[in-house]
Chains A and B, each alone.
Chain A
Amino acid sequence: MDFKTGDEINSGIYQKGGLSFEEIYKSVKNHPLIKESGSILTFTGIVRRTSSNGEPIKKLKIEAYDELGNRTILEICEDIKNRYGLIDLKIIHLKGTFEISDDLVYVIVASAHREEGFKALKEAVEKYKKELPVWMKEEFSNGESKWV
């Protein structure tokens, strides 16, 4: 996905390397209503070195259903933004092949006050993890791999 129009970056699923955290943060800071914000909260999901059952992994592959995923992300953002009265909310999920500690997901919330920002951030993270059509494949040093 390449939804960059000027300085604005839309929430969505992007190929790894297509966007940096700095660009997304800058896009939020350039929001026309940013002067109404008192806080910007960020969450970055990164690749942990062990699988869910503790096995050391070598790489991680993320595959996505882009058409459904991009629509789902926008729906999640609109819903949470409206309910919490946020200035801005962006969810960027990356796809591709990742090394340990690579960034996988960015969630950025700009709100008038931190209280609603923290709640909205938590809800956005829980929702994308539950609803986004994205699948993770763990690859191990012995050459084996598994979808989780």
Chain B
Amino acid sequence: MVVEVLYFASIRDITQKESEFFDFEKKQLRDLVQSLIQKYESLHDILWDEDKACLKSNVSIAINHKIIQNKDLLSIELMEGDKVAFLLPVSGG
């Protein structure tokens, strides 16, 4: 399944890209996070809470330009062509 991942701010600095397509076998967000961290090791410390084995509490997820409010983000089932963004705390002017 192919989804597009959108990168912003410090995450974009690491990937050096505005967006990227990911082709992975399973469908859950946890599988995408795994592929992402495998490709960009530096994202591990930004996105992943090792003690709780989940996304860090300050990371928000947007799918198709909508923030997802879900207690179990990692179990969200993604669909072919989804646009997924990992958002760090904002800092407007």
Contact = CB atoms under 8 A, between A and B. Distances in A.
Interface of A: 45, 47, 60, 62-63, 65, 67-68, 71, 93-94, 104-105, 128-137, 147-148
Contacts of B10: 135, 147
Contacts of B66: 68, 71
Given A68-B62, A71-B65, A147-B9, A62 B90 contact: no
B88 interface: yes
Contact of B90 (A67, A94, A132): A132
B65 A136 contact: no
B93 A94 contact: yes
B51 to A, nearest CB: 24
Q: How large is the interface on B (under 10, 10 to 19, 20 to 34, 35 or more residues)?
A: 10 to 19
Given A67-B65, A68-B67, A71-B65, A62 B93 contact: yes
Contacts, number: 60
Given A65-B85, A68-B67, A135-B9, A105 B62 contact: no
Nearest to A71: B65
Which 5 pairs show the lowest CB-CB distances between chains A and B?
A: A104-B93, A135-B9, A67-B65, A136-B91, A134-B92
A129 B92 contact: yes
B6 interface: yes
Contact of A135 (B62, B65, B67, B88): B88
